[in-house]
Amino acid sequence: MGGIARQSRTKAAPLPDPAANPGFVSLVSAGPGDPELLTLKAARRLAEAQVVLYDDLASGPVLDHASPQAELIAVGKRAGRPSARQDHVNALLVEHARAGLRVVRLKSGDAGVFGRLEEELAALAAAGIPFEIVPGVTSASAAAAAAGIPLTRRLTARRVQFITGADVTGQLPGDINWAAIADPAVTTVVFMGQRSFPELAAGLRAHGLPGDTPALFAQSVGHPDQRLVRTTVDGLARMMQAAEVSQPGLIMYGPLAFDI
């Protein structure tokens, strides 16, 4: 009798059990801001945490899911310490976990997307502290959903790429793969790209991407002041030239399904 051969499974490592581990860090994805976009696991970790270290972009109503007894610590830019900020966050994580506490590190969107997750994982691993990562809704998928469009299209956008518009100095990264990001058959999502978009758009044009390529600007997705602008790469470059950057904004361009 024919049939699909069963694949032999390697034995999975046991999942960490936060309840049984005094001193445990959950790196939790907060989603874009709307608390309904928290996963059930994220909400549960927040409810069980004794300490929550949160970023500016992972604050607001999502923090209502934390226990009233939990200590809430802001560690975003507005919490000060412009220099050595990451070292400071790493030290706080280690210090609270070593005190035997259940710690949540709440990060905006999906914790693994442009969120300096690697630095925090390395610090925890070096200190021998057990941790888990709780995935979540990135602002990229939330922005597409808010605009009523898919991120991929079966015939015209078979690839989606996430890029950053700012390197550690806040400038457009110098080592951009222009051929990849000027590919007209790809949906490209630009994080932290509001300030540098005019320069990015000029580079895209120089590398052959038509200026009338559809572009979406999605600001404060999942927040009460959410703003969505459907435009083109050239139109968005003009808009960003004049814009003051006060709120988080995401840019998306490519064969976007504005024709639906």
Ligand X SMILES: C[S@@+](CC[C@H](N)C(=O)[O-])C[C@H]1O[C@@H](n2cnc3c(N)ncnc32)[C@H](O)[C@@H]1O
Q: Write out the catalytic residue numbers.
A: 55, 77
Among 18, 109, 214, 254, binds ligand X (CB under 6 A): 109
The candidate with the shortest Cα–Cα distance to 104, out of 143, 64, 53, is 53
- Check binding of 32 to ligand X (CB under 6 A): yes
210 beta partners: none
Q: In Å, how far are 26, 119, 121, 168, 234 from 102, measured between CA atoms?
A: 8, 20, 16, 31, 48
Residue 190 three-state SS? strand
33 vs 214 by CB, closer to ligand X: 33
User: What is the amino acid identity at position 258?
Assistant: F
149 or 250: CB nearest ligand X = 250
Q: Is 178 helix (H, G, I), strand (E, B) or coil?
A: helix
Site string for ligand X, 125-144 (x = CB under 6 A): -------------xx-----
Q: Which residue is nearest to ligand X (CB)?
A: 109
Considering the complex, state which of residue 214 and residue 249 has its C-beta at the smaller distance from ligand X.
249
Among 157, 204, 218, 236, indicate the residue that binds ligand X (CB under 6 A): 218
Question: What residues have CB less than 8 Å from 235, skipping those under 6 apart?
Answer: 215
Locate 34 and state its tokens. 């709307």
Query: If binding is defined by CB under 6 A, does position 54 make contact with ligand X?
Result: no
> How many residues in the shown chain lie near ligand X by CB under 6 A?
22
- How many whole angstroms separate alpha carbon 253 and alpha carbon 260? 16
Q: Is residue 233 near ligand X by the rule CB under 6 A?
A: no
Q: Residue 219, Cβ neighbours under 10 Å: how many?
A: 20
CB closer to ligand X, 90 vs 220: 220
In DSSP terms, which residues pair with 104 in a beta bridge? 26, 52
Closest CB 222 distance from ligand X, rounded Å? 5
Q: Which range, of 18-26, 39-47, 107-115, 201-209, touches ligand X by CB under 6 A?
A: 107-115
User: Which residue ranges make up the site for ligand X (CB under 6 A)?
Assistant: 32-33, 57, 108-110, 113-115, 138-139, 191-192, 218-223, 248-250
